[in-house]
A and B are shown apart, each in its own frame.
Chain A
Amino acid sequence: DQQVKQNSPSLSVQEGRISILNCDYTNSMFDYFLWYKKYPAEGPTFLISISSIKDKNEDGRFTVFLNKSAKHLSLHIVPSQPGDSAVYFCAVAGYSTLTFGKGTMLLVSP
């Protein structure tokens, strides 16, 4: 049973617009929620995280929102840039493990 679900395999947006990537999780016991970005032929790189005690964390163009009651996590990218085109993985962290979703491929067109 998937603990982390990213229901959109892909998303296309235009440069300058907002990109919203979504993630749902099943277990309420996770401590941290993260987003990783992955370019082809490279390892995933950490993008942004949020603690379970917060509902929003912002870092430049990237904002992560956590809705604990809905067990939902989202990543907002504003404004989107062509260089943001990549696969985005949502992940949830417990004490000893990191569990990833299947990823959403974001394509930002000029």
Chain B
Amino acid sequence: EAQVTQNPRYLITVTGKKLTVTCSQNMNHEYMSWYRQDPGLGLRQIYYSMNVEVTDKGDVPEGYKVSRKEKRNFPLILESPSPNQTSLYFCASGRVTYEQYFGPGTRLTVT
């Protein structure tokens, strides 16, 4: 089954404790991206990757890192999480930007 998977689905952590949210796709897509969804703000892009070893900042990259060592994986790293990073995170992949498939989401709470 073609899909984008994210882990964990739910995470509660404390300020400053490094965490990684994994994202994997099995559709051989070159394009992958991370978004966060916040009430009243919609979906905002954090980082994207056009291909392996090619990543770039989206609209809200502060406090996040990503890596793209393999085509199928695109982890999101929060090296020192803060409460303002409490959000719902979505990973997406696609052949092109206008054809993206989203994962189920990761709800992160930073206390």
Q: Hey, which bits of chain A sit against chain B, CB under 8 A? A: 6, 31-32, 34, 36, 41-46, 49, 89, 91, 93-103
- Say which size band chain B's interface belongs to: 20 to 34
B97 near A95 with CB under 8 A, answer: yes
Q: Hey, which bits of chain B sit against chain A, CB under 8 A? A: 4, 33, 35, 40-45, 48, 50, 56, 58-59, 90, 92, 96-105
Known: A44-B102, A93-B98. A102 touches B90 (CB 8 A): no
B43 near A89 with CB under 8 A, answer: yes
A98 near B98 with CB under 8 A, answer: yes
Known: A44-B43, A96-B50, A97-B58. A49 touches B104 (CB 8 A): no
> Whole-angstrom distance from the CB of B19 to the nearest CB of chain A?
20
Contacts of B92 in A (CB 8 A): 43
**In this complex, which of A34, A44, A46, A91 has the most chain B Cβ atoms within 10 angstroms of its Cβ?**
A44
> Whole-angstrom distance from the CB of B28 to the nearest CB of chain A?
18
Q: Which residue of B lies closest to A95 (CB)?
A: B97
Known: A41-B105, A43-B90. A100 touches B43 (CB 8 A): yes
Q: Which residue of B lies closest to A51 (CB)?
A: B98
